[in-house]
Amino acid sequence: MIPMQGKNALPELSQRQRREIEYHKDHARQYAEKYRSIDFAVVSFTERRWWNAYWEMYRHIALADMHGRRALVVGCGFGHDAVLLAKLGAQVSAFDLSAELLAIGQDLAARYELNVDFQQMPAERLSYQDGEFDFVLIVDILHHCDVPRALSELARVSKPGATWVIDEIYTHSALQLVRESTVIMRFVYPLVSQLLYAGKPYITDDERKLDERDVAEIRHWIRADRIDYYEAIVKRFVPVRGRALSKLDRLLLVGLRPVAPLLGGRFVMSGVLERAAAGRIVDSGLNSAATRAHERAPAPGC
């Protein structure tokens, strides 16, 4: 049986991390059936979906060549990416805060006879050794974390020159100010939210979209030649319906490349770790000063 907890006991958790665990208990129950199978099309590499951030993320992964590499999947949720990397021949470790989600990931790996080492731990304090991983996959997780702490821990457990691939939701801070304005919050958000989320949106109390300052923080660690933006319109104002709008959305951001960081709602980037982490964070504060200064009221998810 794969251990569901880090090799050391779970460290002391922050209130925020506890709230994430509580939230995802219900989330795991609600979506367990939906995520009990996996579509391997994205790793067949016979098809390209240039307008889709997730598919483009797998193009970055293909370039990194997973075979035999020690890969880490950060905040792995239901475990799909962990299983997909294992399918590509990587030796995969994956962690999350939620024991319920990890259990589903574990079942999934067993179902497809693929080996993934699932562990329960927070991104801000990893129980892996220094320099264990050649490759780190970060998908929709940093915006749930104390970003500087998580990045510093990921740098610590990465080998020098390790590849990181990142696909995260994003809003530029200037656009965020507009989104938080009274007019938008009172009149536009309720309408858009109705259109986007028929039921309850998947937004935790503490999550906060990454912005240009977080991108700069990531660039502090990795050398990334380019960063591609997606979803200026789709998932912000309209739900994903068919491919035409998503294609238009992506073309718009390619055409308006200089202002794409202002308009984009998601980014994909990859790069090579350039900087050695100073070592394990030892102070007792559960959130970094940088994140505390950066924190603000949770933002609407659309």
Ligand X SMILES: C[S@@+](CC[C@H](N)C(=O)[O-])C[C@H]1O[C@@H](n2cnc3c(N)ncnc32)[C@H](O)[C@@H]1O
Which residues are near ligand X by CB under 6 A? 17, 20, 24, 75-77, 96-98, 101, 122-124, 139-141, 144-145
Which segments within 79-212 are labelled E, that is strand? 91-96, 116-120, 133-139, 158-169
β-pairing, 222-223 vs 70-74, is: unpaired
Name which of 102 and 263 has its Cβ closer to ligand X.
102
Helix residue spans in 162-273 (DSSP H): 173-179, 182-183, 189-196, 212-221, 244-255, 260-263
Cβ proximity to ligand X: between 144 and 156 the closer is 144
**Phi, then psi, of 69 in degrees rounded to 5:** -85, 150
CB 277 within 8 A of CB 152: yes
For ligand X, the closer CB: 174 or 197: 197
Question: Shortest approach of ligand X to residue 101 CB, angstroms?
Answer: 5
Instruction: Evaluate whether 129 touches 7 at the Cβ level (below 8 Å).
Output: no
Toward ligand X, which CB reaches closer, 144 or 208?
144
State in angstroms the smallest separation of the CB of 132 from ligand X: 17
Minimum separation from the CB atom of position 257 to ligand X (A): 26
Q: For the CB of residue 227, give the shortest distance to ligand X in the complex, in Å.
A: 18
Q: Provide the token pair at 213.
A: 């300052």
Nearer to ligand X, 99 or 181 (CB): 99
Please, what is the minimum distance in Å from the beta carbon of residue 183 to ligand X? 29
**d(C-alpha 236, C-alpha 30), whole Å:** 23
Nearer to ligand X, 186 or 200 (CB): 200
SS3 136: strand
Cβ 137 vs Cβ 74: under 8 Å: yes
Nearer to ligand X by Cβ, of 83 and 277: the residue is 83
- Between residues 96 and 231, which has the closer beta carbon with respect to ligand X? 96
Q: How far is the CB of 295 from ligand X (least distance, A)?
A: 14
- Least distance to ligand X from the beta carbon of 13, Å? 8
User: In whole angstroms, how close is the CB of 240 to ligand X at the nearest point?
Assistant: 15
